[in-house]
Amino acid sequence: MDVRHQILSLTALSSLNADALLLVVAGDSLDTKLDPKLAAPIDDAIAQGDFVLKASRTLYLHRQPGVRAGRVVLAAASGTSPKAFKSAVASGLAALKHTGAKHVGVAAAGIELDASHAEALVAAALDATYVYRHTKPSAPPAAALATVTLVTDKVHAKMAQLGITRGLAIGAGVTLAREWANRPANHCTPTLLAEQAKKLAKSHQDVKVEVLDRKAIEKVGMGSFLAVSQGSEEAPRFIVLRYQGAAKTKAPIVLVGKGVTFDTGGISIKPAAEMDEMKFDMGGAASVLGTFLAVAELKPKVNLVGLIPACENMPDGRSLKPGDVVTSLSGQTIEVLNTDAEGRLLLCDALTYAERFKPAAVVDIATLTGACVIALGNHRSGLFTADETLASELQDAGQAGLDPCWRMPLDEEYDEGLKSNFADMANVGPRAGGAITAAMFLRRFTAKYRWAHLDIAGTAWKSGAAKGGTGRPVPLLTHFVLSQAS
């Protein structure tokens, strides 16, 4: 996708050289500065009741006299925010989807466009043109759309270009995360995920990667992680990514992504219905890879480490059993009451491993609990942290990236549910508040640094007719990393 910028006033939009013009309109009336060759047919459409200035409404106009673009689409926005602008652009591009428009110019009336709007435009355009085809050669051809030009005035040109650059980098990361999340488990094994990390490092010299095989993982002492993988024929991999954009003395940000490439639940096996969606259980790992790609493209002055424990959770004669006690890298023992609560068993060892980097902060990302989906639905990821500053930074990053999260509690009382008579802790607590007790479990391994947990079980993928990975929370994570740059 080629996204560019052009300086052109609203009064001269009819001269825009493109296959189509997408005009986003905000407010209760048309901007008086709008090119009269466009204002006249729009006013007429409003008068005839063909177009209403209400969110999600669109209108297609073909071959308007005096307008160079052969197609004009109007899209009403609910307001002037980047979120409203993105939604309107998405509606407008959908109206153009089945046309032959290869180059679309996008302008706004009633909205003062800045870098955030430009970034939102890129996100909408990339989402509109993404097609999964790795295992589906019969997938429909990609949309004709190949070039998008954002039109602004001279005053906002610099900010618009900044937003486009940032949007393209984040968009590449989102696409990478979506692509790997969408691949079925036999096309996305721990080994293949590690190969993708190596490929990323090979194409970006600022990124280094190290991959630990089973023997190396055993040598480190990750007993909890290995216990999850022991029932699978697929070998586990522990992937370590590093990006150095600042001085070596600067403490890094560490991102830890859950990489269960398929989760049957193990001996505590899941119901058959919708189990296919458990290929998405490596959404946290995919988001770490996507964020590394975005950061490598933008080259901020920050140090970043990515940790991905990758394995399958399968039932087998060697599988972890309910009641088994495993020893984590931290030395703490865990009674496994439910083998389907495996993600935290991977993450706890990775969180302990993170200590060696003396991090400025650690954020783990995981499709961890169905309870988080019940609590928050599919719009916001769950955020858990006791650090007020870190909470604010992540919430702000989510708002900036149009990838919101919602802070959840970590009261000490929730920790009571993890008590065990046979180990230092159990891996699950009561059903009520399950997302919180899962976070409380992880918290026990994070005493030596600032830590936050993102539960993305409700946001990493969509079900139903639109089934597929979303690439979230790559925008949130990238904005967070950028905010930490010196």
Is residue 178, in this structure, part of any structural domain at all?
A: no
**Catalytic entry in 37, 71, 279, 344:** 344
**Confidence label for 213 from pLDDT (cuts 50, 70 and 90):** very high
Phi, psi dihedral angles at 464 (to 5 degrees): 80, -150
pTM of this prediction exceeds 0.95: yes
Q: Are residues 139 and 208 in the same domain?
A: no
Q: Which domain holds residue 155?
A: 2-172
CA pair distance 452, 387, nearest whole angstrom = 8
pLDDT above 80 (res 142): no
344 and 241 in a common domain: yes
SS3 of 134, please?
Answer: coil
Is residue 189 situated within a structural domain?
yes
Residue 258 and residue 347 in contact, taking contact as beta carbons nearer than 8 Å: yes
Residues 415 and 382 in one domain: yes
Nearest Cα neighbor of 258 from 314, 302, 312 is 312
DSSP 251: P
Residue 177 resides in a domain: no
Domain boundary among 140, 172, 204: 172
Q: Are residues 195 and 259 in the same domain?
A: yes
Give residue-wise pLDDT tens across range 351-398.
999 999 999 999 999 999 999 999 999 999 999 999 999 999 999 999
Last residue of a domain, one of 172, 201, 226: 172
pLDDT band at 486 (very low <50, low <70, confident <90, very high): low
Residues 363, 324, single domain; the answer is yes
Q: Is residue 202 part of a domain?
A: yes
Same domain for 70 and 164? yes
Q: The domain spanning residue 110 has which CATH number?
A: 3.40.220.10
Cα–Cα distance, 48 to 34 (Å, whole number): 20
Residue-wise pLDDT tens digits, 71-100: 999 999 999 999 999 999 999 999 999 999
- Tokens 């790609």 correspond to 293
Report the candidate in 162, 258, 241 with the shortest Cα–Cα distance to residue 204: 241
User: Which of 137, 172, 207 is a domain's end point?
Assistant: 172
Residues 244 and 136 in one domain: no
Compute the distance between CA of residue 436 and CA of residue 429 in angstroms, rounded to an integer: 9
Runs of H (alpha helix) within 354-418: 370-376, 388-400
Residue type, 126: L
**pLDDT at residue 289, as a whole number:** 98
Instruction: Give yes or no: 344 in active site.
Output: yes
Tens of pLDDT along 258-269? 999 999 999 999
Q: What's the pLDDT score for residue 140?
A: 84
Distance, CA of 117 to CA of 83 (rounded, Å): 8
Element (H, E) at 15: none
Q: Is position 190 within any domain?
A: yes
Task: Look at residue 49 and tell me if it is in a domain.
Answer: yes
270 is catalytic: yes
Q: What is the pLDDT of residue 32?
A: 87
Which tens digit of pLDDT belongs to each residue from 322-346?
Answer: 999 999 999 999 999 999 999 999 9
Q: Are residues 159 and 207 in the same domain?
A: no
The residue annotated as part of the active site, out of 57, 250, 270, 407, is: 270
Model confidence band, residue 31 (pLDDT cutoffs 50, 70, 90): confident
The rounded distance, in Å, linking the Cα atoms of 230 and 318 is 6
58/97 same-domain check: yes
145 touches 89 (CB < 8 A): no
pLDDT tens digits along 97-139: 999 999 999 999 999 999 999 999 999 999 999 999 999 999 8
Residue 301 lies in a domain: yes
Same domain as 474, residue 370: yes
Same domain membership, residue 117 and residue 212: no
pLDDT for 141: 81
Average pLDDT, the chain: 97
Torsion angle defined by CA atoms of residues 158, 162, 165 and 171, in that order, rounded to the nearest 10 degrees: -130
Does the pLDDT value for residue 206 go beyond 80? yes
> How many domains, the chain?
2
295 with 432, same domain? yes
Cα 332 → chain centroid: 32
Q: Residues 278, 315: contact at Cβ < 8 Å?
A: no
Angle, vertex CA 412, rays to CA 411 and CA 417, nearest 5: 110
Cβ distance 388 to 452 under 8 Å? no
- Amino acid at residue number 33: K
- Write the CATH number for 225: 3.40.630.10
Q: What is the DSSP letter of 223?
A: H
